[in-house]
């Protein structure tokens, strides 16, 4: 995604723009479906490489419909990049109907603990 964003912005590459648009469309589609099935939610949480480090994608990933779209704070969303593992930050504006957060995954620790568990033969 980082490379697609760079190429789309710096080179105005239409294929990169299409790939980004398609990715965001699919995220919006699944997010909307989950919210419909769940009957709403208290918050949306972004994590993982793209969710933690691409504020422009976080904004584009949200459904267009105001009932299920958190109102993001532009400043908080842009500033919330590169959180330390395990940290969280709110990116929705105060008073938003639906809260939005970025949570930095601690994947390395999880992988290490799962590896130790497997080596020791512990079953979950």
Q: What is the pLDDT of residues 8-32, one digit of tens each?
A: 999 999 999 999 999 999 999 999 8
pLDDT tens per residue across span 51-87: 999 999 999 988 776 667 889 999 999 999 999 988 9
Sheet containing strand 88-90, edge to edge, reads 43-46, 99-103, 88-90
- In the chain the domains, ranked by start, together with CATH numbers, are 2-120 (3.30.420.40)
Q: In Å, how far are 106, 107, 110, 113, 124 from 118, measured between CA atoms? A: 19, 16, 12, 9, 10
pLDDT tens per residue across span 80-107: 999 998 899 999 999 998 999 999 988 8
């Amino acid at each position: 995604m980082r490379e697609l964003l760079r190429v789309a912005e710096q080179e105005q590459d239409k294929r990169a723009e299409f790939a980004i648009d398609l990715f965001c469309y699919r995220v919006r589609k699944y997010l909307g479906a989950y919210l419909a099935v769940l009957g709403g939610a208290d918050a949306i949480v972004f994590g993982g490489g793209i969710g933690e480090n691409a504020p422009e994608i976080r904004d584009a990933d949200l459904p267009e419909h105001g009932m299920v779209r958190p109102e993001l704070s532009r400043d908080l969303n842009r500033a919330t990049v590169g959180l330390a593992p395990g940290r969280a930050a709110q990116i929705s504006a105060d008073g938003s109907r639906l809260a939005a957060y970025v949570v930095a995954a601690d994947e390395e620790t999880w992988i290490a603990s799962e590896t130790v568990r497997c080596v020791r033969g512990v079953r979950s």
